[in-house]
Structure formats: structure tokens, C-alpha cells
Structure 1
Amino acid sequence: MAPYIRHALVFCGLLLLALLANAARVQVVEAGAYGDNPANRRSSIARYQQPRGNILVGGAPVTGSRDTGEQLRFERTYLDGPLYAPVTGFASQRFGSTFLEHAEDRLLSGTDPLLSGFPVWHDTASAPGGNVVTTLNARAQQAAYRGLGGRKGAVAAIEPATGKVLALVSTPSYDPARLSGNGTDASAAWERLNADPDKPMLNRAVRQTYPPGSTFKVVTAAAALDSGVITDVDAPTDSPDPYRLPGTTTRLTNEADGCRDASLREAFAWSCNTVFAKLGVDVGLKDMAATAGAFGFNDTKLKVPFAVAESTFDTVVDRAQLGLSSIGQYNTRATPLQMAMVSAAVANGGQARAPYLVERTTRAGGETVAGGGAHPLTQVMRASTASRLRELMRDAVERGTGGNGAIRGATVGGKTGTAQHGVGNTGLPYAWFVSWAQADGAPEPAVAVAVVVEDASADRGEISGGGDAAPIARDVMRAVLGS
């Protein structure tokens, strides 16, 4: 063979090897980069070629898909979008997804390997999108949304024995369908919603923390009883009125009369700041922090399944700051979901189940993919402490500041709260109410609720929580009880 022919064959072989090496580099080494490149629309086109699975409430879908006939064919739709937005979030062709739409995206879009009967072939064809069955109670969700009436605030409701989230509402809200497409209307809606000073896309129930005010006295009372600082809820406490915070000249006062040396029962019913601030100091930072942590404060990993903002109890404070922290002020902050967890632990005999929103996930045909497993159980406080707290919360409703939470035909326990905020506490106080309800004749409480209203109409004092937040909680509890 002539030398020049051999040289040509070698050269062609080298070219072939280089071509194969480059193909391997593109298809294996850099496949992820090419696949994630915004200029590559193949994955987006494939993603929207079939309807998205649905999110269900009470067995009925609250989402859907609309065939646009365009290249990105199917667009997300929502039934009662503003009502369920804090749960569903949005699924947008341009702006991504949030909340359940994001947390369960692989299942809803049909790309989860568990949806395919033949996982080996799953990469070559998407299965029909699966469905997410939520734990929500539609009537409770509607009652919470209606009760807030567009005011800034939030409601969270939990089934104490299981941890099921029965209602999760945040207002003002928005219609996630306005963000579904990729046209100019979606872009305009995105800009408008993000510029709105009322922040309608903020999920106040799980992503906003507030000073919990006097509702935190449930935690302080639990710490006092568990630690043995209080052994008799009817015995007088050594509590001056006003109470000078340790090491300062600041004197703490009360909205109610008769708080000097009040028993824990009376102090709880009439929300005496002086008694509870001193109790927190007497219990001490270690035990107060341990009790708050048992309820769920300072937990950075809570998910339902989307992430929940951390509720905080400051563990590096002096005694004066501890006194303020113990009445839900200073650096103490909580989401409404966290305060519903506090109430649920009391209602459930001192034990708490981790809250969750997804009952199960299914294939398009209804076959269960996952869900239904047991959720972690935590011993928050002694059973005897929980029993005493249920008494105190019942008293607060039957003869104290929480009377607007009462329900005929049910036993209700509650605690009002008014949280000061703003520079020099000049802002209009947040109105809080936490509660639980048990129908007469029922073996256990069916619901625990937390309500916060940011723009309450009342002046400072417990009347704000009792007047603005308690009626909303009452309606939510009635919806769950069916009364």
C-alpha cells in the first residue's frame, strides 16, 4: 500500500476517534449543561405537551390544565385560585413554581419514575401526571378565607391527633392562574404582584413570622408546670404589679386589673403580663428554651412538604429580655402554623404530630404512589401539664378574654394575644387567637387553630385578639366540627 494511502487512512481514523470523543463529551460530560441551557426549549416543549396532574381537596381537583394549542401546549388553571394559593402556589411556564406545585412537581408533571410501570424506559417517555391528595378541609378553608375578609392575616388549622393540616389561608391573596402562561399578560401580572405593598404572594401562614404576644403564654405556662415552678394553678403567685424587669428600671404593666399575685388560672384567663414575665424569669432560660424547642421553636427543618419559616425563641438573653420573651415579645417570633402546633400539642395530651399537607399521591388512574405512613410523634410536655393547660384554655374562653371563640355543643379552649410591634411599639398591634375544639361526646379534640390579623381594628389590649381573631377561629372550628 502506498505511503500516502496509509497516511490518509491513519488521518481518517484519527478524525473518526476525535468525532467519537467529541460526541461522548457532548452527550455525557456536558449533557447537563446543554439540557439546562435556557436556549434549549426541547425539555420545556416536552414538559407542556401533556396536562399536568391535579391537586385535590376533599376528593375534588382545585387545579386543571388548559390546551392553548401553542408550542407550550398545556397551561395551568386553578379553581378558586385565591382561596387555595397558599397551598397550591403557582406553576408558571415563565416563572417556575412554588409550594405544592413545586414540592410535588415531578409527580404532577409526570417525570417521577414512580409513575412509570417500567422505570427503565421512563427517560424516553413521560407518564401521565399524577395527583396530589391534600389533607385540607374545604369548609374550614372557606371559613378561614371568608373570616379574614381580605385583611392582612393568616389562619392555620391542624387535626391534633394526626397532624393533618385542615386549613392554610393567607390574605390578601392572588389568582395563580394569572402567572401560568408565558406571554405579556403573565409578565404584567408578575410585576404588579411583586410591586404590591400588601405582598399578596407572601404566604403569611408559613413564611411570615410575627411576635406571638400573649398566645406564647401557653408555652410559658407549660414550662412553669413542667419545671415545678407552679404546682397549684389556683395558688397565688408572688407577682408584683407593676413588675420591674430584672436589672432595669422598666416597669411592666397589665391591661387587666387584679393581676397582683394572681394565680396561674386567673393570670391566664385575664392575660396578666406581669405574672407571666416573672414566671419566665423564675423558670429560667434553660427550661424556657427547652420547652419552646419541644413545641417546635428554633426548628430549621420543618416542611409540610414545602419549607416553613423558622419560629424563634432567643436562647442568648439576659433576665429582663427573658421576661419579655416569655410574654411573646422581644425576639420571640412565630408563624401561624407554629402557634397552631402549640395549641394542637395541648389538645393532644402533650404529644405533637408533625404537621403535613399531603395525604397521599396517586397515578392518574387513582392508584396510590406514596403516602399514608405514620408521622413522627413528639412528647412536648407531661400529660398532666397538658391537662392543666386545657383547663386554663377553657377558662379563658368561658370567662376570660376568649369568649368570642365559644361554640355551642362543643368544648373550646383558647388564648388571645395582642402583639406590639413597630418603632417604640407604635404600630397597630397584631391580633392573635389560638384555640382547640372538641365536640360534645367526641373522644378527643378535632381541631386546633391559630389566627393572626395584622390590621386589627381594635386598640391595644386583649380585646384585639378576642374581638378580631377569635370569631375567625370559631368559624373555622365550627366548619371542622360540622356545627
Structure 2
Amino acid sequence: MNKPIRRLAIFSLALFGVLMLNVSWIQTFQAESLQEHPYNSRQFIESLTQHRGSILVGSEEVAYSEPVGGDSEQFQRHYENGPMYAPVVGAFRAGAATGIERAENSFLDGSNQLLAVNNFRDILTGEEPKGADVYLTLHSGAQQAAMDGLESLNKNGAAVALDPQSGAVLASYSSPTFDPDSVASVTESEQAAKKWTELEASEQKPLLNRGLNEVYPPGSTFKVVTAAAALENGATPESTMEAPASLDLGAPLTNAWEGPCNNGAPDSLAHSIEISCNTSMANWAIELGGQKMHEQAEAFGFNQGPMEIPLDVTESSAPLETDPNILGRGGIGQANVAATPLQMAMVAAGVANDGDVMKPYLVDSVQNSNLEEVKSAQPEVFSEAVSSGTAEDLTQMMIGVTEGDEASGSAGAIPGIHVAGKTGTAETASGPTHNWFISFAPTEDPQVAVAVVVEHGGKSGGELGAPIARGMMEAVINE
């Protein structure tokens, strides 16, 4: 064999060796990830032959599977009140699942190990294999009220409601939303794929869960955190602070009415919360200092990293500030403070629950095809934000926001029921203000805590956010 042929033979053998190593690597180490990859069409086609479990809100099936019909062995996913529940439920579609459809997929498709005994029993009895049913914590009335309120404004935004005593998520709505049925069709897969592409490209971001995954400057709703820090460090609701018409914090910081609070006299902490005084609350933050403000924010859940409920939740941030100018603005929910609506609902819920913030959760229970519960929620304390005494003081101060002589959030009041609230009007980098309202009720035995944000509403939180929050609270309380 001459030298060139020998070299070619060696090179060919080397290529075959590399090819064999690559195949071995894929089959040994990458098989599972490739099988579960969202763009594995074979995996999706196979999944269509599985009878997925239902997703339920109360006794209502909000997502369920039905046979396509004819000789097909495939199942079609359907969604009841799809747009209302889409921010949480998501969609099961070619390429990927979103929302609860993705987070609880192993239960819904029956592959979770907790279903192994039930699956084996079904094989022995000849029963049709079926995934488990997932029961959500959502309250249909509160979810409907959130949708109705935000859609009536024709504005982007979000609303979240929690059970303060357990952490159960009673509502999580994001506007704009989308119709899961339009992207989940098996028989019209090309149109469904086109619709999904349109949703992904939309500037309005209808696929974004703004309640869990968008952060906003919380504006004056963050003054509850500042007031909590003051009370935890020796202040009382009657403690006063200078409240001029303007503060020089690198640039002028004024009150909404461009005049002083309390007619120019030092303003009490309680009255500052009632009327939402900017200058006094900024002074409180500066006097407390960056470390105490930072610690108090973290006690409510800021800076704690991403969370799963089981949907992914984006971290809210309140950095440790050393510059008094930035710290003062941070004390009124501006500067570098950024929060999800869920985080601000946790602030309200922590005050409502005697100072303890419960970990939010969306799944109440999971039942197998034989209606046996295989998983149930176990409420747990997320953090101890403030003492019970501080929580009571904050509650009374927040009642003043809805019922006081100079109440800034009277539109959130419910006749015959004490409501604790706080308005927020947050300046943005561009465009009109974001408008917030957080609240809980009844204050004697809190059943629901709410946070609402209206993007670029350009008005006040008391005017735009409070009515939506009131409707959500009424839906839960009047059930």
C-alpha cells in the first residue's frame, strides 16, 4: 500500500472513531434531554396519544383533553374561559407547554413517580391510562373580577390576590392575555403555530405573566415597607417627621399636590400613610439608613432570588443604598426598587397575617385517575416580616387610607367592612405613571390580600387600581 492511500485509510478510520464517540455520547448522556426537548416533534406527537389529566378551579375543568375523533388515537386539549385563566394555566401545544401545563406536566401526563402504583393498577384492570388532575387554588370570582377590572380600562397590567393565612394564590391575572385554544389545535396545527408566532412577536407581550414575571417601581405602596421599618425600630404611628413641600435629593422631590404635608408642620407616620406624603416618608428612609431599610424589604421577600409556586416568579429587588438621595427616593418606591405584583401582594398579606408572610402556592392538590389524592399543599411561613404589634399598627394606618378624613384610597373601601389599603403612583422612565393599589380585608379576620398595577395609567392608584382591588376582595368575601 502506497503512502497516500495509507494516510487516507488512517484518516477515514479516525473519522469513523470520532463518529462512534459522538453517537455513544448522544445515546449515553444526551438521550433524555433530547427526548424531552421542546422541539422534539416525535415527543410531541407521542404526547398527543396520552390522555392528559385535567386542570381544575374548584369543580370547573379549565383545561381538559378529549379524543380528536374518527380513527385517530390522539387527544385534543381544550380550555374553558381560556383567556381568563391563560396567565396561570398556560397552553399545551406543539413545541412547548407553558404555565401549569408545563410546571405540572409530569402529573398531567401520568409520568410522575407518585402515580406509578396507580398506573400499574390501571394496566392490570385494563383501564384507559390517564394523567392526574391538578386542582388550583384560584378563586373563580376573584379571577373574573381581576379580568373585568383590567379589561375595562383597556390598559396593560396585572392583579394578584392571596389568602393571607395560607399563601394560596386566589387570583393571578395579566392583561393583555391570549386564548389557549387558538394555539393548541391538533387538527389545525399550522394555524396554531402561526398564531403562537404572532403572540411571541407582539409588542403587547400577551404571553408574559405580568403578575409573576414583570417588575415595576412600586411607588407609594412601598411606603408600607418604610413605615414597617420605622415601627420596628422604635417609632409609633404618632411619631412625626419633617414633611416640606420639596426635598433636594439631587433633584427636587415633591408631594403629589406640590405643597407641604400637614400644613407645613412635621407629619405623623400614620397621617403620612393616609395622605401618601412623599417628603416625610423619604425623610424616614434617610433617617433609618440603608441597612435597616434593606433588611426590612428582605423580611417581606425582596432580594430573595427567584421563587417557584410552581410557576417561576421573578425576583423583586430593593438594593442596599448608601447614597441618601437614592435612599430617600427608594423609601417611596422609586429609584432602584422594583417589585412584581405578587411581591406587593405578599407585603399586604404579611401585614394581614400578624406579620408572617406565607409562601405563595398555586396547586392545592393532585388526584390520580381513581380520585385518590397523591399530593396536597402544605402551607409554610416564608418569612417573619414584622412583629404582631407592628402589623396591628400598620393595619390601622392602612385603614386610614380607605376610611380616613383625607383618605387617598377611598375607592377601595367596601361598605360595612374595614379595608386596609395603600395607593401608589409610580414614576416611570418614559410615559405616564404606573398606578398601584394594595389592600386586604376584612381587617378583623383577613380573607384576601390584593395587589393591582395598571401600566401607564397616568392617574392615581386610588382612582384606577383601588376599584379593581375592591371587586376582587368582594368576590372572595361575599362568596
Normalising by the smaller structure, the TM-score range is 0.7 to 0.9
Amino acid at match of 1:115: L
Match of residue 352 from structure 1? 357
Superposed displacement of residue 422, structure 1? 2.1
**Is the contact between residue 110 and residue 126 of structure 1 (CA under 8 Å) also seen in structure 2?**
no
Match of residue 236 from structure 1? 240
Match of residue 99 from structure 1? 99
Match of residue 147 from structure 1? 149
Match of residue 82 from structure 2? 81
**1:128/1:320 Cα in 2 relative to 1: closer, same or farther (>3 Å)?**
same
**1:66/1:422 Cα in 2 relative to 1: closer, same or farther (>3 Å)?**
same
Once residues 29 and 242 of structure 1 are traced to their aligned partners in structure 2, the CA distance between those partners, rounded to angstroms, is 64
Amino acid at match of 2:315: E
Once residues 34 and 299 of structure 1 are traced to their aligned partners in structure 2, the CA distance between those partners, rounded to angstroms, is 32
Amino acid at match of 1:141: Q
Amino acid at match of 2:229: A
Match of residue 20 from structure 2? none
**1:357/1:318 Cα in 2 relative to 1: closer, same or farther (>3 Å)?**
same
1:472 aligns with 2:472: no
1:402 aligns with 2:402: no
Match of residue 11 from structure 2? none
Range that drifts further, 152-161 or 72-81: 72-81
**1:472/1:26 Cα in 2 relative to 1: closer, same or farther (>3 Å)?**
closer
1:333 aligns with 2:334: no
Taking the TM superposition and a 5 Å limit, the aligned residue runs for 1:361-440 are 361-399=366-404, 400-423=407-430, 427-438=431-442
**1:39/1:88 Cα in 2 relative to 1: closer, same or farther (>3 Å)?**
closer
Amino acid at match of 2:87: P
1:201 aligns with 2:185: no
**1:28/1:331 Cα in 2 relative to 1: closer, same or farther (>3 Å)?**
closer
Match of residue 320 from structure 1? 325
Amino acid at match of 2:410: G
Among 290, 296, 300, the residue aligned to 1:295: 300
Superposed displacement of residue 195, structure 1? 2.2
Cα deviation per residue 1:333-385 (whole Å; 9 max; x = unaligned)? 10111000000001111111101111111102211011132323521111111
SS in 2 for 1:84: helix
**Is the contact between residue 419 and residue 429 of structure 1 (CA under 8 Å) also seen in structure 2?**
yes
Once residues 26 and 122 of structure 1 are traced to their aligned partners in structure 2, the CA distance between those partners, rounded to angstroms, is 34
Aligned residue pairs, count:
446
Superposed displacement of residue 117, structure 1? 1.1
**Is the contact between residue 38 and residue 95 of structure 2 (CA under 8 Å) also seen in structure 1?**
no
SS in 1 for 2:232: helix
Superposed displacement of residue 151, structure 1? 2.2
Superposed displacement of residue 95, structure 1? 2.7
**Is the contact between residue 142 and residue 171 of structure 2 (CA under 8 Å) also seen in structure 1?**
yes
Superposed displacement of residue 26, structure 1? 9.0
Superposed displacement of residue 99, structure 1? 1.6
Superposed displacement of residue 119, structure 1? 7.6
Q: Percent identity?
A: 40
Unpaired segments ≥5 residues, structure 1: 1-22, 459-463
SS in 2 for 1:374: coil
**Is the contact between residue 116 and residue 127 of structure 1 (CA under 8 Å) also seen in structure 2?**
no
Cα deviation per residue 1:40-73 (whole Å; 9 max; x = unaligned)? 7654443221321111101221011132258671
RMSD over aligned Cα, in angstroms?
2.8
Cα deviation per residue 1:2-54 (whole Å; 9 max; x = unaligned)? xxxxxxxxxxxxxxxxxxxxx99997677547746899765444322132111
Superposed displacement of residue 280, structure 1? 0.5
Match of residue 342 from structure 1? 347
Unpaired segments ≥5 residues, structure 2: 1-22
**Is the contact between residue 317 and residue 337 of structure 2 (CA under 8 Å) also seen in structure 1?**
yes
SS in 1 for 2:142: helix
**Is the contact between residue 50 and residue 129 of structure 2 (CA under 8 Å) also seen in structure 1?**
no
SS in 1 for 2:313: coil
**1:32/1:172 Cα in 2 relative to 1: closer, same or farther (>3 Å)?**
closer
Match of residue 15 from structure 2? none
Once residues 43 and 285 of structure 1 are traced to their aligned partners in structure 2, the CA distance between those partners, rounded to angstroms, is 52
